[in-house]
A and B are shown apart, each in its own frame.
Chain A
Amino acid sequence: EAGVTQFPSHSVIEKGQTVTLRCDPISGHDNLYWYRRVMGKEIKFLLHFVKESKQDESGMPNNRFLAERTGGTYSTLKVQPAELEDSGVYFCASSHGLSPFGTDTQYFGPGTRLTVL
């Protein structure tokens, strides 16, 4: 079974440009999450989708960030316009949801390293 994949693995852009990150969750996982780690800080939650609906976007830093998950499959996270402080690693995770056998487990992708110059 394929894991969570993210594209691109690295992105270097200039301040003011737009970047779109993509996440493909594990097939069949309704829950999709975005997290990020900015330089020297801890991994922080950004938002959570259940299928195509945003369940919790309390972690989104500002309106320069737009996440979508059309059709409830893959998700995109667009940063427009990018600022220097947006540099960091953006992780995507997915989970199946409540299991009759136990709790929910989130599976992470390798991350996209974003550098804004």
Chain B
Amino acid sequence: LAKTTQPISMDSYEGQEVNITCSHNNIATNDYITWYQQFPSQGPRFIIQGYKTKVTNEVASLFIPADRKSSTLSLPRVSLSDTAVYYCLVGDYLNNAGNMLTFGGGTRLMVKP
């Protein structure tokens, strides 16, 4: 399984754009990149998933360069409620449905007023 590395913590202010970068140097050809968000006392929540280039949904954008060795989760105009831990995961979720998720330490985002 590809190992992921992401910052332990980040601080931001309300209204700012937050970019969290994750490195996954040994990502495999069939691997997808998935981000989860976790609030205190809750389970992880799926945010976004991508394979290459850019993916955007109503919550976030995911930027993946051509070499796919890293990815950046972009949260536009964060609010206090975006304070959470964000996990970057890499795995073959297409050809191996039911593949276990491997969580790292995540990035603890603190949004300040």
A44 vs B1: C-alpha distance when bound (angstroms): 14
Contact present for B45 and A97 (CB under 8 Å): no
Q: Which residues of A contact B98 (CB under 8 A)?
A: 31, 48, 50, 55-56, 95, 97, 104
Residue A2, interface by CB 8 Å: no
B90 to chain A, nearest CB (A): 12
Residue B26, interface by CB 8 Å: no
Q: Which residues of B contact A92 (CB under 8 A)?
A: 43
B53 to chain A, nearest CB (A): 15
Q: Could you give, for residues 23-51 of chain A, a 1 whenever the CB lies within 8 Å of some chain B CB and a 0 otherwise?
A: 00000000101010000001111001010
Q: Could you give, for residues 41-70 of chain B, a 1 whenever the CB lies within 8 Å of some chain A CB and a 0 otherwise?
A: 111111001000000000000000000000
Contact present for B42 and A48 (CB under 8 Å): no
| CB closest residue in chain B, given A93 | B43
Query: Are A103 and B32 also in contact (CB < 8 A) when A35-B101, A42-B104 are?
Result: yes
B11 to chain A, nearest CB (A): 22
B60 to chain A, nearest CB (A): 15
Q: Which residues of B contact A33 (CB under 8 A)?
A: 100-101
Residue A80, interface by CB 8 Å: no
Q: Which residues of B contact A72 (CB under 8 A)?
A: none
Interface residues of A in 90-104 (CB under 8 A from B): 91-93, 95, 97-98, 102-104
Q: Which residues of B contact A20 (CB under 8 A)?
A: none
A27 to chain B, nearest CB (A): 18
Contact present for A110 and B49 (CB under 8 Å): no
22 contacts between A and B (CB under 8 A): A33-B100, A35-B101, A43-B101, A43-B103, A44-B103, A48-B98, A50-B98, A56-B100, A91-B43, A93-B43, A97-B98, A98-B94, A103-B49, A103-B97, A104-B94, A104-B99, A105-B49, A108-B43, A108-B45, A110-B41, A110-B42, A111-B43
**Further pairs besides A103-B97, A104-B94: 15, Cβ < 8 Å:** A35-B103, A42-B105, A43-B101, A44-B103, A48-B100, A55-B98, A56-B100, A91-B43, A97-B98, A102-B94, A103-B94, A106-B46, A110-B42, A111-B41, A111-B43
